[in-house]
Amino acid sequence: MPSELNIEKVGQISVNVHDLQRAVVFYRDTLELPLIWQGPNMAFFACGDLRLYLSVPERPEFDHPSSVIYFQVRDIHEASGTLTSRGVELLGAPHEVGRLGNVAVWMAFFRDSEGNTLAVQSEVPIH
């Protein structure tokens, strides 16, 4: 059966926060994501072609940790060092998690100001 849905990409990801202002400072100042707009219980950030939507849960069923968001970086060691210098505690050293064809995938995990797990990820060419 042919599909007419034609999903092209993920356009927005929502992350639950309990202290919006603290979270805005973390994503804007620590991760350097451009703030698009902020309202009383929500804020939107640009992340390439994706919007990151921070929101205070409106009902108990929406109050849960977010999925892990993997931020692509050029140099995982440099990015990890920058995060550490900004007071972010890594959950482990940057490490290779696997190989996809001719690239090695490296990751380092950390938490945001609200306790959500995030990661920086880098794809390093294998020579």
pLDDT of res. 50? 94
Residue 2: predicted pLDDT: 60
Q: How many CB atoms lie within 10 A of CB 42?
A: 15
- Beta-carbon contacts of residue 86 (< 8 Å; ≥ 6 apart): 29, 30
**Tokens 């210098």, located at residue:** 85
- What is the secondary structure of 18-73 as a DSSP string? SSHHHHHHIIIIIS-PPEEEE-SSEEEEEETTEEEEEE--SSGGG-SPPPPEEEE-
Per-residue model confidence (pLDDT) at position 98:
94
Q: Going residue by residue through the chain (127 aa), what tens digit of pLDDT does each one get? A: 565 767 788 899 999 999 999 999 999 999 999 999 999 999 999 999 999 999 999 899 889 988 999 999 999 999 999 999 999 999 999 999 999 999 999 999 999 999 999 999 999 999 8
Query: The tokens 């959950």 sit on which residue?
Result: 91
pLDDT of res. 8: 80
Q: Where are the domains of the chain?
A: 12-125
Q: pTM of the full predicted structure?
A: 0.86
Domain 12-125 top-level CATH class: alpha beta
Predicted pLDDT of residue 70: 94
State residue 4's pLDDT score. 78
Asked if residue 8 lies in contact with residue 47, where contact means CB atoms within 8 angstroms, the answer is: no
